[in-house]
């Protein structure tokens, strides 16, 4: 009976669509001279329904339910057509004439790297409108905080200064980032320092986040996510924008943007100047950030030449040390106990006992990071034929800066200085002020050749060749006891050189309801450095050279059930070289192995007029993943160690629905398991010397919450007034890989509120007024941290440190558009 009932219900459900009236949209697409435009893409927006115009220019979309649809027609080199079509109770036949575009757009720059509707991988797009609404001056990672499987953090506690992002629990050094197809990750650390690009979001047109390995890209391998950023497109009309924000912690943003529009239908110029300042939530964690963005372009019907220059200058007071657990979550007695066992007295003790959760270990007035980075990009795009496009770009990045530190009672020997003999006393330590410098150059070129036969076959050949030189050195700018040093003596210096060459081919082929995808990349790395460097208070000699050749294949399949539903599955492999730190902290005889990732994604997508849903399962299997185990190598450094096997597996769901015409609900949910089957933890034994080994099985990967959820509500009570509420939940996260509940970031739930009102004005095109209230529930939480411990006096001493985030705080905004 139960089986029969299920069968009857299933038959009823599947028969419903058949009983609904179905109609068609048909017609022709032609050029201005009346000739057919074969291969023009005809698509119904917010559905998976589409087709290509036949050789005679005709098209037909069938099986459509009653209602209104937005029909979009596109073809390279022609102006797009968008028209609303009502097929209620009837079939509709339309004829379109496409005009040749006056100029070429720069969308072709990133087409080779971005995933599209027919790419069987997992991704989220963020458009210009959403970026603008969220951009009150916080760093770019805070624009992503509502996207699936994402956790963002801020050293200063308020989103300005040093910020970080983890997607699927993967640390930022494993996330590939490109801007207009140019790699941005640092060649040695693999990280992206968003603080070097303040207010860059004000010059961004769209962002795509691919989770997992994704498609082939330029630069460092994606081991958890890829972030593709595209800067502003060509503006036809002249404009001006003045964007100002002010709020908690004296956070101030001033941004001025101007653009010439198209001059003589050939030339365009855009520029932005930005200044951001903030005291930070954490004591003294101030930021003084400045940036410039400029773009000059020549455009033709079939070609474009565009030069982009963007620069950033940052001076941030350090808050890297974090706040002890006893201060964040403990009692005053816990804080005193921490101070006693760590021999903290005098002014440092007063700072610790009296600062509360905004405590900053650093008190030296010039404990700052001072760095500048300049990016130069030159892009050339050529439409060789309606089916063939070429894009080539050259780039150069210049970075130079230092962080300054005051070190009390530091060993003279650390700096290669001789001991002093004064009045019969031997002086072996000194108070010292040092600067650690990075002076680097990164240059290269990328290219992509794309062929589309307008009949369902799309092929791209692309690649990149990049070279990096980096000079790392430390200098003494003051010492209580000078010994045999001279002003600005370099106590260490290393020279690094890295060549990274890659090439890929990728293709999609549409066959009726199926889309097949293939992608293979080959990548060669040659990396070497020499000199001496500091590692955990010791000066060590360095002279290492490695080279790697990686092959990274990918394949996938998509099936369109109908115009509203499709399914996909894909497999991708990625290989990744260790970072500079992995080599510096390991002697040549113990060099770490490269990491390898096998990624399987399978998903379902639904697009309706008033709702959408994306759901996917993923499995990421790591071979030789590098993790911290506490192990000290034979040169006395704590180094990351390869573990033979680890994995991440999870379910991600994101969706949205219009509950009413002016009320929408959107959100996402992730449930995951992130495990290391076996590894050995090493703990320092101060009683007996050496280290104690502890075996672990089936433990959780650090900083990988099992559950992340986000829910947002957007309401427009009157025209141009938007009210948005966003809630974010992040589950418990372990600070290391032992699954020890005493080394954990507790779960938290925060809520943010934003209101913006747009005024149409005679003088200004728009006046936008906005207020963002972050963490309006005043949740006292932390979203990042670290841990270490040791055995002493027969017991285990554990020290956890956290990065507390601000309670309720606000930002107000006035944006004027001309």
- The model's pLDDT over 475-500, given as tens digits with 9 standing for 90+, comes to 999 988 888 888 778 899 999 999 99
pLDDT at 482: 82
pLDDT at 376: 98
pLDDT in tens, 206-254: 999 999 999 988 888 788 899 999 998 888 899 999 999 999 999 999 9
CA 569 to mean position of chain CA atoms = 24
Least-confidence region, from 47-56, 132-141, 204-213, 542-551 = 47-56
pTM of model > 0.85? yes
pLDDT at 44: 86
Cβ(799)–Cβ(735) below 8 Å: no
pLDDT at 15: 40
Please name the residues in contact with 346: beta carbons below 8 A apart, sequence gap of 6 or more: none
Span 191-195, mean pLDDT? 93
| Structure-block tokens of residue 761 | 């004005």
pLDDT at 234: 85
Residue 637 pLDDT grade (very low, low, confident, very high; cuts 50, 70, 90) = low
The SS3 call for residue 18 is helix
Residue 78 pLDDT grade (very low, low, confident, very high; cuts 50, 70, 90) = confident
Percent of the chain past pLDDT 90, that is, above it, reads 72
Whether the per-residue pLDDT at 635 is higher than 80: the answer is: no
C-beta atoms surrounding 811 within 10 Å: 24
Residue 101 pLDDT grade (very low, low, confident, very high; cuts 50, 70, 90) = confident
Mean pLDDT, the chain, rounded, equals 91
| Structure-block tokens of residue 594 | 């490269």
Can you point out the beta strands (E) in 424-513?
A: 425-427, 429-452, 457-479, 489-511
pLDDT greater at residue 146 or residue 386: 146
Closest CA to 322 of 433, 507, 186, 157: 157
pLDDT at 106: 61
Closest CA to 188 of 155, 212, 219, 229: 219
Cβ(734)–Cβ(628) below 8 Å: no
pLDDT at 598: 97
Cβ(404)–Cβ(194) below 8 Å: no
Span 320-335, mean pLDDT? 95
Please name the fold of domain 22-98: Immunoglobulin-like (2.60.40)
Closest CA to 615 of 567, 650, 653: 653
| Structure-block tokens of residue 467 | 């070279």
C-beta atoms surrounding 541 within 10 Å: 11
Q: How many Å apart are CA 205 and CA 201, to the nearest integer? A: 8
pLDDT in tens, 19-39: 455 788 999 999 888 888 887
Beta bridge partners of 510: 515
Whether the per-residue pLDDT at 348 is higher than 70: the answer is: yes
pLDDT at 10: 44
**Do the first three CATH levels of 22-98 and 239-259+267-322+360-817 match, i.e. the same topology?**
no
Residue 581 pLDDT grade (very low, low, confident, very high; cuts 50, 70, 90) = confident
pLDDT in tens, 250-260: 999 999 999 99
Least-confidence region, from 29-33, 536-540, 748-752 = 536-540
pLDDT greater at residue 765 or residue 39: 765
pLDDT greater at residue 107 or residue 752: 752
Percent of the chain past pLDDT 70, that is, above it, reads 95
pLDDT at 532: 86
Span 400-418, mean pLDDT? 91
pLDDT at 587: 77
For β-strands 225-231 and 175-179, DSSP reports them as parallel
C-beta atoms surrounding 15 within 10 Å: 9
Domain ranges of the chain: 22-98, 239-259+267-322+360-817
Residue 762 pLDDT grade (very low, low, confident, very high; cuts 50, 70, 90) = confident
Residue 110 pLDDT grade (very low, low, confident, very high; cuts 50, 70, 90) = low
Least-confidence region, from 246-255, 357-366, 398-407, 472-481 = 472-481
Residue 447 pLDDT grade (very low, low, confident, very high; cuts 50, 70, 90) = very high
Is CATH 3.90.180.10 the right assignment for the domain spanning 239-259+267-322+360-817? no
Cβ(244)–Cβ(813) below 8 Å: yes
Instruction: Burial-class residue 58 by CB neighbours within 10 Å (0-12, 13-18, 19+).
Output: middle
pLDDT at 63: 80
pLDDT in tens, 149-185: 999 999 999 999 999 999 999 988 999 999 999 999 9
Cβ(288)–Cβ(305) below 8 Å: no
């Amino acid at each position: 009976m139960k089986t029969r009932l299920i069968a009857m219900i299933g038959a009823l459900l599947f028969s419903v669509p058949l009983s609904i009236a179905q109609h068609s949209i048909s017609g022709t697409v032609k050029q201005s001279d009346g000739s057919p435009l074969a291969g023009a893409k005809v698509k119904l927006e917010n559905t998976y329904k589409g087709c290509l115009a036949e050789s005679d220019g005709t098209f037909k979309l069938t099986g459509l339910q009653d209602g209104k649809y937005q029909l979009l027609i596109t073809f390279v080199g022609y102006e797009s057509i968008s028209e609303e079509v009502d097929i209620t109770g009837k079939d509709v036949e339309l004829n379109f004439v496409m005009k040749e575009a006056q100029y070429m757009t720069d969308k072709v720059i990133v087409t080779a790297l971005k995933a599209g509707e027919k790419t069987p991988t997992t991704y989220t797009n963020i458009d210009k409108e959403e970026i603008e609404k969220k951009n009150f001056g916080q760093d770019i990672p805070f624009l992503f905080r509502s996207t699936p499987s994402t956790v963002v953090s801020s050293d200063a506690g308020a989103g300005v200064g040093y910020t970080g992002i983890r997607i699927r629990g993967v640390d930022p050094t494993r996330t590939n980032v490109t801007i207009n197809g140019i790699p941005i990750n640092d060649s040695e650390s693999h990280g992206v320092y968003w603080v070097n690009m303040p207010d860059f979001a004000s010059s961004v047109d769209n962002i795509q986040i691919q989770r997992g390995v994704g498609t082939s890209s330029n630069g460092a391998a994606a081991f958890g996510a890829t972030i593709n950023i595209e800067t502003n497109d060509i503006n036809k009309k002249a404009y001006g924008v003045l964007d100002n924000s002010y709020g908690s912690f004296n956070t101030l943003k001033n941004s001025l943007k101007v653009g010439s529009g198209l001059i003589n239908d050939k030339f365009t110029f855009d520029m932005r100047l930005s200044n951001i300042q903030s005291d930070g939530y954490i004591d003294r964690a101030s930021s003084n950030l400045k940036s410039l963005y400029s773009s000059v372009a020549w455009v033709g019907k079939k070609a474009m030449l565009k030069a982009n220059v963007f620069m950033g200058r940052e001076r941030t007071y350090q808050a890297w040390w974090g706040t002890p657990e006893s201060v964040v979550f403990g009692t005053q007695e816990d804080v005193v106990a921490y101070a006693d066992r760590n021999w903290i007295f005098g002014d440092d003790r007063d700072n610790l006992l009296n600062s509360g959760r905004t405590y900053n270990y650093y008190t030296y007035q010039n404990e700052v990071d001072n760095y500048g980075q300049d990016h130069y990009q030159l892009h050339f795009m050529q439409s060789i034929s309606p089916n063939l496009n070429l894009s080539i770009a050259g780039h150069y990045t210049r970075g130079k800066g230092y962080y300054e530190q005051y070190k009390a009672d530091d060993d003279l020997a650390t700096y290669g200085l001789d001991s002093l003999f004064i009045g019969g006393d031997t002086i072996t330590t000194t108070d010292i002020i040092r600067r650690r410098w990075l002076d680097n150059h990164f240059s290269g070129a990328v290219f992509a050749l794309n062929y589309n036969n307008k009949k369902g076959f799309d092929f791209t050949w692309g690649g990149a060749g990049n070279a990096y030189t980096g000079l790392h050195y430390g200098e003494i700018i003051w010492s209580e006891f000078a010994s045999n040093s001279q002003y600005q003596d370099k106590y260490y210096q290393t020279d690094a050189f890295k060549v990274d060459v890659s090439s890929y081919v990728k293709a999609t082929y549409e066959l009726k309801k199926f889309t097949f995808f293939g992608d293979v990349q080959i990548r060669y790395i040659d990396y070497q450095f020499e000199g001496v460097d500091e590692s955990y208070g010791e000066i060590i000699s360095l002279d290492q050279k490695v080279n790697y050749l990686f092959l990274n294949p990918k394949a996938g399949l998509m099936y369109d059930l109908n115009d509203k539903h499709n399914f996909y599955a894909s497999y991708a492999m990625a290989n990744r070289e260790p970072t500079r730190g992995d080599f510096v902290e390991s002697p040549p005889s113990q060099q770490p192995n490269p990491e390898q990732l096998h990624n399987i994604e399978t998903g379902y997508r639904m697009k309706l007029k008033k709702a959408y849903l994306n759901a996917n399962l993923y499995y990421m299997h790591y071979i030789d993943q590098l993790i911290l185990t506490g192990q000290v190598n034979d040169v006395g450094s704590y180094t990351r160690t390869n573990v033979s096997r680890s994995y991440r597996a999870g379910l991600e769901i994101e969706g949205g629905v219009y509950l009413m015409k002016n009320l929408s609900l959107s959100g996402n949910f992730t449930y995951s398991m992130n495990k290391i089957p076996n590894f050995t933890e090493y703990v320092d034994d101060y009683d007996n010397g050496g280290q104690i080994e502890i075996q672990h099985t089936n433990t959780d990967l650090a900083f990988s919450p099992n559950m992340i959820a986000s829910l947002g509500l957007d309401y427009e009570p009157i025209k141009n007034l938007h009210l948005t509420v966003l809630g974010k939940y992040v589950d418990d996260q372990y600070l290391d890989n032992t699954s020890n509940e005493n080394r954990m970031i507790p779960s938290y739930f925060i809520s943010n509120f934003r209101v913006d009102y747009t005024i149409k004005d005679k003088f200004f095109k728009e006046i936008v007024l906005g207020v963002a209230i972050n963490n309006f529930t005043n949740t006292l939480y932390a979203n990042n941290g670290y841990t270490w411990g040791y055995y002493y006096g027969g017991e285990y001493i554990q020290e956890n440190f956290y990065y507390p985030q601000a309670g309720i705080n606000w930002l107000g905004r006035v944006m004027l558009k001309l």
